[in-house]
């Protein structure tokens, strides 16, 4: 019997060498390797600048903090996501406001967002599910009754659009509809730094604010210091100032080296292989009417997708059927997962205190199962997964 893990990290000998070179260098915290990685990410994402962090969660959080979002404000997001997306809102002191998904989709519904905008809405966090989604927002609606908290909000003139792009490296480039995007390099992601993340952002309307915003972000992730360790070392002066009560969430060069090594081959080998796997899944599964694969941004645009997840839904299934199928797959060596149980259905919702029904989100979750897809898989592995899955559907 084969064993197909769900999403193990794929580390090459080049990756190992890149990390050991940093370990031998004598400089293992944030430094020149991280600067190179951030610069390459900025070019790759066609962004104005990129900040490296210790997680995508931290990237989302410091973005909200730097934009002056806090108590008395509201941030709209989807319940169909990992807890990090809503937790960062909660920890700023702002109110978490959930907007339901578009029917039969994994993506937040813009019309639901518009219904929930108030004068206190300072940000919207759409979530890229497995790949990027081309959400189109009506900026006139976003700007209605908008009162800025600081100069950065004032330059936007509307609610911030901060994309949780933890899944989406390689499928979304920053454009006029996305102000900032947070990426994850967790161990299960397409590109990994073991733990880590990044925030890429586009220019403000007042471009003179770009460098000031980046400097504030750097300050936030280093306990509010106005100089990082490398700057102190380079300048040969110990003295520094603490300008804000910041946090500790920078990415060290040991992790950045792994990310930099993988990014250099991301478009040439990592993404093409994942797209080949997803295409083969699509070929084998679309002929079975029991399988629902109707999300166009994932399955009709594989050539531009990050292919981070392989989500399917089973027609006429409910939670009980789906969980039984997951157990059968595991018994036969195929590790699967579910993305996601809506946050309003979890115990944590007592902190968010969100009460309105979100039927489309629950309908997606009710019969969703995520199949394994990763760089270590072969096309023969895909065939085995499908064989097990279809046999399980017969039970």
- Specify the range with the lowest mean pLDDT, choosing from 22-31, 236-245, 307-316, 359-368: 236-245
Average pLDDT, the chain: 95
Q: Which CATH number fits domain 13-263: 3.40.640.10, 3.40.50.10800, 3.80.10.10, 3.40.50.1370?
A: 3.40.640.10
Give the global pTM: 0.97
Q: Which of 167, 160, 168 is nearest to 204 (CA)?
A: 160
Domain ranges of the chain: 13-263, 267-393
Contact 239, 231 (CB under 8 A): no
Cβ burial, residue 1 (10 Å; 0-12/13-18/19+)? exposed
- In this predicted structure, the answer to whether residue 294 has a pLDDT above a threshold of 70 is yes
CB 199 within 8 A of CB 181: yes
Residue that the structure tokens 């839904």 belong to = 313
Q: Does domain 267-393 have CATH number 3.90.1150.10?
A: yes
Is residue 96's pLDDT more than 80?
yes
Overall average pLDDT of the 112-123 stretch: 96
pLDDT digits (tens, 9 = 90+) for 7-43: 999 999 999 999 999 999 999 999 999 999 999 999 9
């Amino acid at each position: 019997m084969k064993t197909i893990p769900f999403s193990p990290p794929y580390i090459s000998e080049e990756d190992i060498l890149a990390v050991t070179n940093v370990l031998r260098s004598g400089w293992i915290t944030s430094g020149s390797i991280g600067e190179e990685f951030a610069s390459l990410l900025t070019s790759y994402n066609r962004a104005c600048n990129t900040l490296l962090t210790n997680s995508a969660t931290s990237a989302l959080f410091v973005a909200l903090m730097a934009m002056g979002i806090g108590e008395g404000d509201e941030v709209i997001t989807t319940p169909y996501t990992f807890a990090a997306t809503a937790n960062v809102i909660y920890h700023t002191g702002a109110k978490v406001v959930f907007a339901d998904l578009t029917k039969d989709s994994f993506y937040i519904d813009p019309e639901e967002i518009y219904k929930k905008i108030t004068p206190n809405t300072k940000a919207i966090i759409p979530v890229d599910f497995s790949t990027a989604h081309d959400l189109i927002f009506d900026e006139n609606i976003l700007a209605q009754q908008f009162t800025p908290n600081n100069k950065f909000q004032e330059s936007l003139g509307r609610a911030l659009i901060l994309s949780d792009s933890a899944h989406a490296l390689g499928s979304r480039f920053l454009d006029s509809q996305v102000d900032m995007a947070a990426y994850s390099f967790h161990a299960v992601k397409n590109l990994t730094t073991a733990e880590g993340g990044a925030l890429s952002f586009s220019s403000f309307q007042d471009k003179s604010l770009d460098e000031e915003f980046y400097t504030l972000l750097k300050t936030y992730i280093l306990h509010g210091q106005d100089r990082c360790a490398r700057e102190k070392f380079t300048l040969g002066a110990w003295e520094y100032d603490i300008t804000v009560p910041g946090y500790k969430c920078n990415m060290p060069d040991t992790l950045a080296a792994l990310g930099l090594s993988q990014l250099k081959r991301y478009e040439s080998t990592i993404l093409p292989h994942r797209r080949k796997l997803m295409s083969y899944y699509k070929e084998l599964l679309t002929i079975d009417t029991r399988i629902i694969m109707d999300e166009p941004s994932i399955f009709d645009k594989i050539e531009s997708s990050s292919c981070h997840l392989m989500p399917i839904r089973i027609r006429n299934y409910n939670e009980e059927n789906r969980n039984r199928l997951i157990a059968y797959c595991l018994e036969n060596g195929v590790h699967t997962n579910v993305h996601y149980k809506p946050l309003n259905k979890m115990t944590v919702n007592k902190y968010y205190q969100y009460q309105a029904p979100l039927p489309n989100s629950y309908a997606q979750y009710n019969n969703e199962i995520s199949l394994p897809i990763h760089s270590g898989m072969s096309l023969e592995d895909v065939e085995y997964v499908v064989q097990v899955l279809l046999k399980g559907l017969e039970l």
